[in-house]
Amino acid sequence: MSFINPAFFWAMFTISIPIIIHLINFRRHKTLYFSNTRFLENIRKETKTKTKLKQILILISRILTIAMLVIAFAGPFIPIKQGNNNKLSNLNIVYLDNSFSMENTGKKGKLFEQAQQIAQEIAYNSANSTKHFLITNDLLPEHQYFSDRNAFINNINQTSISPSPFKLNEVILKANANVPKEQTANLYVISDMQKTFLENISTKLNENINLIFVPLKAEKLNNIFIDSIWFESVSHKLNMSETLVARLVNSSEEDFYEQSLQLFINDSLKAVAGFNIEANETKDIEIEYTNTQIGFIEARLEIIDYPITYDNTMYFNYNVSETSKILIINNEKPNRWLTALYDSDSENFDLQQVKLGREQNENFNNYNLIILNSFSEISTGLSANLLEYTENGGSLIFIPHRNLKISSINSFLNLFNAGNFTEQSIQNTRIASIEYEHELFKNVFIKKEKQSEMPIVANSHKFNTFSSSSVREVLNLENNTSLLLAGNYGSGKIYIISAAIDESNSEFVKSAIFAPAFYNMALNSQISNQLYSTIKAVAKVEIKSDKEILSSDIFKLTDKTNFEILTPHRYANKKIIIDIPQQIINSGTYSLYKTEEYISPISLNYDRSESVLEFVNASDLDKLIVEKFDNKAKLINTDKSDFTLALKKFADGKPLWQIFVLLAFIFICCEIAFARLIK
């Protein structure tokens, strides 16, 4: 047993009052005169004994009455044992879940409003001397210290829904760091207990902290959300038809019909797609439209869903470029087929050609695509520059000469972990298969070509890919050898042709396969930034830039409401790496400036991790308490009518003052009985 106000035991000195009264009464007596006391001797002795007994019993009753009242006012209680801690806590740490999922509704209204009310009740049901510490998903400066009841309640009232998700592991770390070892604290976790919140609990709670789960339950768990988006094509051109794919998720047990997905381009409605989605279904919806302007495009997708609305909108941006800049490095004379292909479409391609040995390596990053035409060998210096160019996002096409210096070319290709040419040559072999789903040939052919209609390649080199290579076959010959391979390296792309592009292979060059392949290689070489990023604690956005950025440069983000904030940055590998400040809490498309120079749009969306409405129920929480907290944490049922009493119990332990008041009353009754019944 412990006491809330042990200092009140000083009042025990009042026990001396009935003792003093008893002693005074004991000395008082009357003298009575009798002529003969012989017959009164026995009566006197008997009366004196009863009187002494009566006075002692009354004294004991008075002493015990005062003692019971003093103990009652000292606040006796039995501590609720949590962990190895039996001490009364004078510190409260309250985690108030203000994530998006708390916008859902329960029996008593919105879960977040219920959580605020419970946090206030915790404060009101604690002693006046108790200090309170508030943890929210925002990690605001005013929440970084213990405060009194009034300041704590004021912080609760000012808390709003936050876009930042949080995990119990982080709550425990925060509590451990803020409770001194010599003190004890109650940690209340008020949350809807999503599965994502309770994942990967690895931090052990300090022994001087008592953990109390306060789960809230939503009545209706329906939510449709936009999970992610992407384009079918990586390049974007003026008057080009786009196919945008949106992945929608129905995180509920209910089917939804005749819903609409709306696409807005620069705040104007561009296209609408209708859809039906069944319970717990994930569905990809395509929207087709045409680019009608060049430059940066700011866009968003929207659906209508209630009550959780934060994940109904997905912001994104992309760049519609005027031309793809192409550099052909010719080992011999210019290739007339490539020249004709790219020069014939000056609206989409800006072609430059140089003789091998006259290229300027420092200018490689000015081009989207570099073609190595008819190379028989390649120097180590040029190899290193092309490797850096590809790593930084450039696209590279390698076309071999009929006479290869195998060791030199293989040393170059080994840098990309692509594969090796062999000494074996392949003669007069028909193309056997096309990877129609590859980006180079997707939507190119209305019907698949029959093998008998495929062109014949007069001569080519045998190429073997590494098992760990990122390149894959796009065109294959009949003898199971590769003609065209494509893959990614770093931020860029690499394409390898195993046959020379010359007169000897004119049937292949003049076929319906050659032009689309090289045309799409150039189109897909456009360097594109991220469509969007996510608002979270350590959000970063990478923007490709050929211009070197200094650490002293000042970058800022602004939006259409005149919000403006400076943002940290770094420059590495031809990329500006922007750290998104935690002060940005609203989704949308922001504008990035270097001082007053416009750089790029940056689209930020809320984290979708809480959009899947999966929760841990009471029985699962009990299992979690046993497995992760050695059965030393407690669980409060918020649905019960005695919820407030349960909070009081956790704050003060099991109170015993009522028992001692009852005992005091019993001893008063005993005193009265002794005085009346003992004559």
Tokens of 488: 């990614």
Return the domain boundaries, the chain. 2-79+657-677, 91-220+614-648, 224-320, 324-523, 533-606
Q: Which residue has the tokens 């109170």?
A: 655
pLDDT for 225: 95
Q: Do domains 224-320 and 533-606 have the same CATH topology?
A: yes
With beta carbons less than 8 A apart as the criterion, state whether 567 and 595 touch.
no
Class for domain 224-320, per CATH?
Answer: mainly beta
Q: 558: which residues sit within 8 A by CB, 6+ positions away?
A: 564, 590, 591, 593
Name the amino acid, one letter, at 256.
F
pLDDT for 35: 63
Class for domain 533-606, per CATH?
Answer: mainly beta
Q: Which residue, among 407, 409, 414, 415, has the nearest Cα to 388 in the 3D structure?
A: 415
pLDDT for 676: 78
Rounded (10°) CA dihedral 630, 631, 636, 641: 180
d(CA 140, CA 556) in angstroms, rounded, equals: 22
Query: Degrees (nearest 5) of the Cα angle 112, 118, 124?
Result: 145
Query: Degrees (nearest 5) of the Cα angle 612, 202, 638?
Result: 55
| DSSP state letter for 548 | -
Q: Which CATH number fits domain 324-523: 3.90.800.10, 3.40.50.880, 3.30.70.2740, 3.30.70.100?
A: 3.40.50.880
pLDDT < 50 stretches in the chain: 82-85
pLDDT for 83: 45
Class for domain 91-220+614-648, per CATH?
Answer: alpha beta
d(CA 539, CA 537) in angstroms, rounded, equals: 6
pLDDT for 643: 63
Which residue intervals of 316-372 are DSSP H helices?
336-343
pTM exceeds 0.85: no
| DSSP state letter for 612 | S
With beta carbons less than 8 A apart as the criterion, state whether 475 and 487 touch.
no
Distances (CA, A) of 308 to 73, 223, 304, 606: 50, 6, 10, 12
Distances (CA, A) of 537 to 93, 108, 139, 162: 22, 32, 10, 12
pLDDT for 75: 73
